[in-house]
């Protein structure tokens, strides 16, 4: 069974913080690099941050210094701590393997439902 369940989004004022969580099935999480992606309306989904199974991290320039990705291997969960949020961070946030999981025939990317983050005053 494959499953990705994101949570923690919401409405926050500019400069505020949110912590996103993603519970993944063992088959997706174990031993894999995990990432957080985001998608604005009308735009392609983009990688925001990723973390290897060993804990090495990498961030998009737009979030570097403000976002922190982490993982809890005991819980098969990946987190995204978002600080100093800006209106430009408004998007639906998704987690997945990096690169994303592909399933089916023909193969298509598998995504969870995502969690909406809205940064607005």
Return the pLDDT at 41. Answer: 82
Q: For residue 1, what pLDDT is reported? A: 83
Q: What is the per-residue pLDDT for 42?
A: 84
Contacts 24+ apart (CB under 8 A), 26-29: 26/76, 27/1, 27/2, 28/2, 28/3, 28/4, 28/96, 28/97, 28/101, 29/71, 29/73, 29/76, 29/77, 29/78
- What per-residue confidence (pLDDT) applies to 53? 96
Q: What pLDDT was estimated at residue 32?
A: 96
pLDDT digits (tens, 9 = 90+) for 61-91: 999 999 999 999 999 999 999 999 999 999 9
Q: Give the residue ranges of the chain where pLDDT is below 70.
A: none
């Amino acid at each position: 069974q494959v499953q990705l369940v994101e949570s923690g989004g919401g409405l926050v004022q500019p400069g505020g913080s949110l912590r996103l969580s993603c519970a993944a099935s063992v088959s997706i999480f174990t031993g894999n690099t995990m990432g957080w992606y985001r998608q604005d309306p009308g735009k392609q989904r983009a990688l925001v941050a990723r973390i290897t199974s060993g804990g090495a991290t990498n961030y998009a320039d737009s979030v570097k210094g403000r976002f922190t990705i982490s993982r809890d291997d005991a819980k098969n969960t990946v987190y995204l701590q978002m600080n100093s949020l800006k209106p430009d961070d408004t998007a639906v946030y998704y987690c997945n393997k990096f690169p994303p999981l592909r399933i089916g025939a023909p193969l298509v990317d598998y995504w969870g439902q995502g969690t909406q983050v809205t940064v607005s005053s």
